[in-house]
Every structure is written in structure tokens, then in C-alpha cells.
Amino acid sequence: MNENSQDDFRFDFSNYTTVQKTELIEELMETYGESLVRLAYTYAKDWGKAEDIVQEVFLACFLKLHTFRGEASLKNWLYRIAINRCHDHVRSWSFRNIILTNRMMQFIKHHTASPELTVVKNEESIKLRTAIFQLPLKYRETFILYYHEDLSIREIGSLLDTKEATIKSRLHRARRLLELSLNKERE
């Protein structure tokens, strides 16, 4: 399934057999699994927990596929489930009481460059990721969904059940906070 075929799945899944549902879930996992893990990581800040959350998302999708109403694409439905699971995780007692490690994901792909350039890019990347993860959750999730997941403001508004104007202001505020944080780091 490619990105353009997500609209092909806007129909009734209530008559799907277990085999058909399993095949669909496998296809969705292959198409969206990596993106959902990255999204979950922005909340959980732990790769193992992010993978657990995404497993829960696909399990919920399998169990609740018959409830899919087709008001949005399956991609948006999966993202909404993932965001809800992530919010549940962030609100959980264990998340609030565990000291989070500073393991950051590598957003940029490795390519051959001079050692000096590699070091500089890695340092800048770490500073940027650190600044992003220090943003308050409502700004961080909006920023990640917009810039990393390439979702439109309308899609983000739909996923977060928030007005588009609010999404725009959160993006603006996130950029300003990042700019302030990175400028402070340079001083």
C-alpha cells in the first residue's frame, strides 16, 4: 500500500474475516509502522516503550477495525489511536515517576562526509533534538506532526481535535521557543 492508496480503504470492514483483517494489519504495519514508532518515541522518549505503544495501536486496530467509520483515512485513524495511546502513557504513573534516559533517535541518514563535518552535524542534530524534546508536549507534538510526519495543519487539527488556528499558533510558538533555546545555547 502506498501513501496514495490510503483512500482505497474507505469502506466497510465489518465483514472482514480474521485472515483478511490480519493481511490488512500487516500491510498497515509495513506502511505506517516506522512512522508510528517515531511518533510514539516523541512522547515516550524510549524506543522500547514506543514500540510497545505501536503494538498496542495495531492490536487495537485489529480488534476495532469493524468500528472504522471511514470519516478519515486509515492513516489518520491509526495516528489518532497512536496519539491517544501516547497521551495515556504520558499520563501514566510509571511514566511520570521514571527517570527518562537521554537516548535520542537519529533523524538524519548517515552519509559519507569528512569527520569534522560529521561531528558538527551530529552536535547540531543533538542540540536540535534536545531542544525539541524540551518543548512542552502540546508544542512538541504539533511540531513533530508538522515537520517530521509531514501532516498538514488541517490533518493535525483533525488528529488532535483542535482548531486549525490553534495548530498554527502552536507551530509559531514552538518555532519561537526553539529559536530562543538554540540562541541561548550558542551564547
Q: What is the 3-state secondary structure (H, E, C) of 114-165?
A: CHHHHHHHHHHHHHHHHHHHCCCHHHHHHHHHHHHCCCCHHHHHHHHCCCHH
Q: Are 78 and 57 in contact (CB under 8 A)?
A: yes
DSSP codes of every residue in 48-104? HHHHHHHHHHHHHHHHHGGG---SS-HHHHHHHHHHHHHHHHHHSHHHHHSPPP---
Give residue-wise pLDDT tens across range 99-124: 333 333 343 444 455 666 666 667 77
What pTM was computed for the model? 0.58
Q: What is the pLDDT of residues 121-167, one digit of tens each?
A: 677 778 888 888 889 999 999 998 988 888 899 999 999 999 999 99
